[in-house]
């Protein structure tokens, strides 16, 4: 069945796939529509008491963690209609990328993140080559009136080198997608409360009866 929505949506997926092949990343602002972005922001306000300080990998040392990242997070689930709508968009993207690039993306997980004023996430990689099943990172921003003086940019670095290749303002509707093991990145401290959804498409790395990703 063709609908008036099919063409533009498919062309977004084409653009994403082409950019991943050519550059390994893409920034866009015509992903999930504005209505869902607003509803997702409202959801962060409803959930504010459910956010918890994020950890770094398997690191349990809270002091060490807070020198690296200071955001607090809440995982999305299909139990809420707004969160389900975002997960549904990502599921469509997962299938579209697998069809175009045969990446074997197996599932997707994502969390809301709140960076209070002053909070940061130091330069890091989301995955290390061959050591993780996170292969493709997405970051989606939810603040609809972000100002330049609020700071809080995402800096994306090349595989080697200290000069950022992108400085992304966390403005509502901006979606960033990049190969998780290729691009070091960091979140600069902001002056305002900064809300985003960070997510990862994963491959199935199960071996024998050890289930990975864990359920």
Q: Which chain residues interact with ligand AKG by CB under 6 A?
A: 113, 121, 126, 139, 154, 185, 187, 196, 198
Q: Closest CB to ligand AKG among 83 and 126?
A: 126
Q: How far is the CB of 30 from ligand AKG (least distance, A)?
A: 19
Among Fe ion, ligand AKG, none, the one that 154 touches (CB under a kind-dependent 5 to 8 A) is ligand AKG
Q: How far is the CB of 5 from Fe ion (least distance, A)?
A: 31
Q: Closest CB to ligand AKG among 67 and 206?
A: 67
Question: At a CB cut-off of 8 Å and minimum separation 6, what does 18 contact?
Answer: none
Q: How far is the CB of 172 from ligand AKG (least distance, A)?
A: 13
**Residue ranges of E strands in the chain:** 25-28, 52-53, 72-75, 105-115, 121-124, 134-141, 154-156, 166-168, 175-179, 185-187, 194-203
Positions touching Fe ion (CB under 5 A) are 126
Q: How far is the CB of 8 from ligand AKG (least distance, A)?
A: 26
Q: Closest CB to Fe ion among 45 and 66?
A: 66
Q: Closest CB to ligand AKG among 14 and 68?
A: 68
Question: At a CB cut-off of 8 Å and minimum separation 6, what does 53 contact?
Answer: 62, 65, 66, 70, 71, 72, 73
Q: Give the bridge partners for 114, in sequence order.
A: 72, 195
Among Fe ion, ligand AKG, none, the one that 72 touches (CB under a kind-dependent 5 to 8 A) is none
Among Fe ion, ligand AKG, none, the one that 113 touches (CB under a kind-dependent 5 to 8 A) is ligand AKG
Buried b (16+ CB within 10 A) or exposed e, 122-132: eeebbbeeeeb
Nearest CA to 76 among 203, 173, 198?
198
Q: Closest CB to ligand AKG among 105 and 113?
A: 113
What Rg value do the Cα atoms of the chain yield, rounded?
Answer: 17
């Amino acid at each position: 069945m063709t609908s008036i929505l099919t063409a533009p949506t498919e062309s977004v997926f084409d653009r994403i796939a082409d950019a991943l092949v050519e550059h390994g990343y893409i920034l866009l602002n015509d992903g999930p529509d504005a209505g869902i972005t607003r509803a997702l922001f409202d959801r962060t306000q409803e959930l504010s008491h459910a956010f918890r300080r994020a950890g770094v990998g398997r690191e349990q040392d809270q002091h060490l963690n807070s020198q690296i990242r200071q955001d607090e997070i809440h995982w999305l689930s299909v139990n809420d209609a707004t969160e389900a709508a975002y997960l549904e968009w990502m599921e469509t993207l997962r299938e579209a990328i697998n069809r175009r690039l045969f990446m074997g993306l197996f599932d997707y997980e994502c969390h809301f993140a709140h960076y209070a004023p002053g909070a940061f996430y130091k330069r890091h990689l989301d995955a290390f080559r061959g050591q993780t099943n996170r292969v493709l990172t997405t970051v989606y921003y939810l603040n609809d009136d972000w100002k330049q003086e609020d700071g809080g940019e995402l800096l994306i670095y090349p595989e080697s080198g200290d000069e950022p290749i992108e400085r992304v303002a966390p403005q509502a509707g901006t979606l960033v997608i990049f190969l998780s093991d290729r691009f070091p990145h960091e979140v600069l401290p902001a002056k305002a409360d900064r809300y985003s959804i960070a997510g990862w498409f994963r491959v199935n790395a199960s071996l024998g009866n050890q289930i990975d990703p864990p359920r």
